[in-house]
Structure 1
Amino acid sequence: MHTQVTDSYLQWQGASGSLSVSMQGAVSSGRYKTASTFATHQCDSNVLSMIKQCPTTSPTAATPSCKLDIVFIVERYNLRYIKRFVVELLNGIYVSTDGVRVGFVIYDSTATTVFGLTAHNTSAAVKAAIEAIPETNNNNHYVNKGLIHARDNVFTSAGGDRADANNYYVFVVGPYNSDTDTVGRVIRSDVNNFIFATHIGSTYETEYKETVGACSDYTKYTSVDTYENLLTVRQQVIGNITSCQSVTAKSQGIGL
């Protein structure tokens, strides 16, 4: 940043642009006796305050008017980006014992439950559990196994699945193929099951769209170009996974 004072104006120049402030009459009247005095008191207190604005409020977390059982099903590949993304999603979702509950599954060549639906009852506790997951890497991307594992091990009565709540399968996957469309159709055969995809890249887009929806309804599918840009779709995904659906008597669906 560079500040220059002359008899008639102050000129401020920085990396993002420049600003001129008229000093006509200020110097001659003796209100500012030196250039350094003007630069310190006038520029710092006025000019810089205009170019630096900070938010004064935090975003309000979404509180759906329905009960939701949400399980995040994420690949172990590039886990540090995915963990950050899910934590940021949870900054916008209110978790409680009787509203939204959250579980977490990680998949690679197999799938494992990190925590179930009844393990954590607040957003802060869920986020802390996700942040504590070791960021090991794996190049296998069998999201179909993650979906099946969530259905058979988390969305169960023993796992805390509620009869009066929808089951939301929320998976995150890169540009890799694992034949999930068949699995998706079987899971969605239970009308209380809904699948949401966040897909990095565009390879196998058709497969993942068919996994989450039918009859060309792909509103539950979200794509982003790179892992680094996952946060750019945060609000879209929050809106999708906090929407309420009608709940009917729960059935067991069709097994695989």
Structure 2
Amino acid sequence: MSYGRFLPVPLGRWEKGLCWFIWITHSAAAFVIAIVVSRTKLKRNQFWLSESSYIEDAKMDLTDVEWLHFRNTVSREVIDHCLHSVIFFSVIRFVAAEWVKVALSVVGLLIQIHMTSLQCILIITAVSIVVTTLSIYTRNNAIPWVLCLSVVIKGTAVFPFTNSNLRHYLEFNAYMYGAIKILNFCLYMCKNKELKYADIWKEHLAYMGYLPYSSTLIVLFEDFSVQLDKRLNNPAAVIDTAHLRWGTAFAQIIGKVKINPAMKKAKEPRR
């Protein structure tokens, strides 16, 4: 099978070995560098350190605003995401099959309003309607790319935010990840030019209403649809926990590496 002018060919044994060697050595080097950096003597940043409020005898870097916002919002996010998970599985089990995706989108919308604000979600909805309509009408990849990147780059200067620091941080994430999800769906529609929106509107609503459980990556629309349909077709399926176990083990490994040198307990005398 060829893709355009490219013909996929399996790699030879030595090429696979080289790829594995590069990946393993780079991964090992990353851990070594992190460990070395974390053990570097503190010299110039002692002025910014204060006693940690959550780890005994540890120091906290007051300049890390991102970490401060995360600490202030993590409890609220955990509660909302747990609530969403419970309702998600309840909807799959008890709502009629033809209305499951609509119900999931409504649930996700309400929880996102609770996490951020009605104003924030209305703005994202308006942006979604405009960009999606233009993309479906033109089927031109440039339209969603330009509009969604404009939202990501200039959104913080244009869109209103709630004065509360707690909601401000969550609204920032909602604007950013909302724009990325809009972009993913519109690119899917531009790629499948024969596809009508009427045939896929339920999946679109469910995708937009799904909470961003990952803080860095957004699942592609087509992958989301495949996984959701697989789950709906077998609601009583036992979830494979292999990936969860590996993720937990990897998180424990990461936790052993003190990336931030500000976590060192020993004080460096000022010079």
**TM-score, with structure 2 as normaliser:** 0.22
Whichever structure has more strand as a proportion of its residues is: 1
Higher helix proportion, which one?
Answer: 2
Asked which structure has the greater RCO (Cα within 8 Å, sep 6+), the reply is 2
What is the TM-score with the length of structure 1 in the denominator? 0.22
